Structure 1
Amino acid sequence: MRRVVIVAYDDAQILDIACPSSALDIANSLGAAPPYAIELATASGRGVRSSAGIGVAGGRRLADVVGRLDTLLVVGGAGHEKAAVDEHLGAQVRRLAGTARRVAAVCTGVFVLAAAGLVDHRRVTTHWRYSADLAARHPAVAVDPAPLYVRDGHVYTSAGVTSALDLTLALIEDDHGPTLARQVARELVTYLHRPADQAQISMFLAAPPSGDRLVRDLLGYISGHLADDLNVRTLAARARVSARHLTRLFAAHLGTTPARAVRAARTEGAAHLVRSSGLPLTAIARRCGFGSAETLRQALLDHYGVTGDRIRRMPDMPTPRAGSAAQTPEA
């Protein structure tokens, strides 16, 4: 058996518990060998109240969990603040981490790992809203707010909520191969799974409304793949139309060119990363498909009329300038 202990606490996010446990249970039903033995553990051994107000029965008291573990997974949620400063909880998590083949945290569960000293000098991620706070509280932790999930050695962290499912599918694939992971994804009626480096920021990029399904689908693809080759020929091939026809569609439904739409999405994605992370502009430029930090600086100026440093200090996202979709003919 692959023994998996899920650590929960009051005001945990119920999806952070349900996504991993359900995916692993389905893997078992589809013939995972060896199967997963899933246990829920809490500091007291009693059930916990999720942040939605729904109770979840506790299976084990953390202090009573002994022996080797395959996976220790700490969930996130509104209760992470109290959980991170709970010395008893932290001591038990630290003890169990020493017996586990791998350690994982969903969303703000990484605050518990960080408080226990388990992710110092490791690259981790968390929900975009909490990344700056995590970095400020734990300067020895390398916080990367961009990916859906991160693996650093035997430690896995995810952005939270539904990305817990992406992380768990990745764990299943590591353990049993891609075929079983695909089968689990089909049972869950979800994507095979989104790649680890797909940017969290894609959800911020609200595509302009379009009455054309092909254009809508391409805009969604662009927002989730900012670092990829997104020139008009590549996009046209993906849509199975000619580059000329794609350009006509974008002009008719969006009033812009594919290249300008791509540049606008990349610039907006970069601006969100500038505000939510301490990443240098060179790293942000690379993640968002810009050739250099200087190219990104110019794009921010063209799109918002302000520099990256100014955006980082602003209390809210700046508003794009009128007619600033992008100023270059090629994405």
Structure 2
Amino acid sequence: METALTRLTGVRHPVVQTGMGWVAGPRLVAAAANAGALGILGSATMTPEQLRAAVREVRSRTGEPFGVNLRADAEDAGERVDLIISEGVRVASFALAPSRELIARLKGAGVVVMPSVGARRHAEKVADWGADAVLVQGGEGGGHTGEIATSVLLPQVVDAVDVPVVAAGGFHDGRGLVAALAYGAAGIAMGTRFLLTSDSTVPDSVKSRYLAASVADVTVTTAVDGLPHRMLRSELVASLERVGRIRALVRAGRHAAGFRRISGLSWRQMYREGMRLKHGKDLSWGQVLLAANTPMLLRAAMVDGRTDLGVMAAGQVTGVIEDVPSCADLLARLMAEADAALAELHGLATRPPWT
């Protein structure tokens, strides 16, 4: 299926595997790319050295295009941009709007720039700055999320910008792809659906928790880091919501220290990260400290399998996913479903009005 997204990135199918921290590593990204999707490495939880090694591992596993997700507000964002340029990465995606300068540097090197946005005005801004495409996530999506449903947000963004729009939040099958195309999108992006594949390195015990969850078992909470965060309900989430402020800050400080050791950041760098996070948001310093806690809570579940100690970011589609296919099987099934849906719609459009 050819769309503006496939032409822009060189992939076979208009599907993006999102750059989830601790989840979107070389194995999953390469498998998604080999299956015809745009696989994206989640680099926010990697040091620059780890990112370079991960990029090279992906390239050793596939000859297909892939991307890297970057945090635009990270202190070393410029260094990471230089890295993906030197390594010949095809696509740079961003969790936050990159600066005009970063976009220009990437485009000048032939890298496709695709920021993620959660509002029409953000899409308009990055498109005006030269972004090649935008990924728009509605409130159904996992992780940090907004309040506007994809079905409302997506057509707003499609009408507002002249670049390809990729729809995220609430997608898991071929029918969803066709729905997104009908709204004017050039493709879809999926996180939870790719997390629940056999190519994902998330422990099987954690995948079982996702498969057992219903739609009602996915919640949005601010207890983890002070920002709306969509994840699976768990005893840990419930305890974070019950715990007092002082105990929450002590716990957050302990986990922040652990993340500092793993990430290689100094306390000074983490302070600067906190300042950037606080900028433009109505966050207390306690919430900033809680935000530093989040990577470690995610790692505990996604890497170590400790659902009692970690949190599990999850889109609402968790409640309707029932299997763990390979990326190859998932993409083959999804595209077959899309073809069937398109054929059915074509039949409706061409029937005489009296039938």
Query: When the two structures are superposed, what TM-score results if normalisation uses the length of structure 2?
Result: 0.27
Which structure has more RCO (C-alpha within 8 Å, separation ≥ 6)?
Answer: 2
User: Based on CA coordinates, which of the two structures has the bigger radius of gyration?
Assistant: 1
Query: When the two structures are superposed, what TM-score results if normalisation uses the length of structure 1?
Result: 0.28
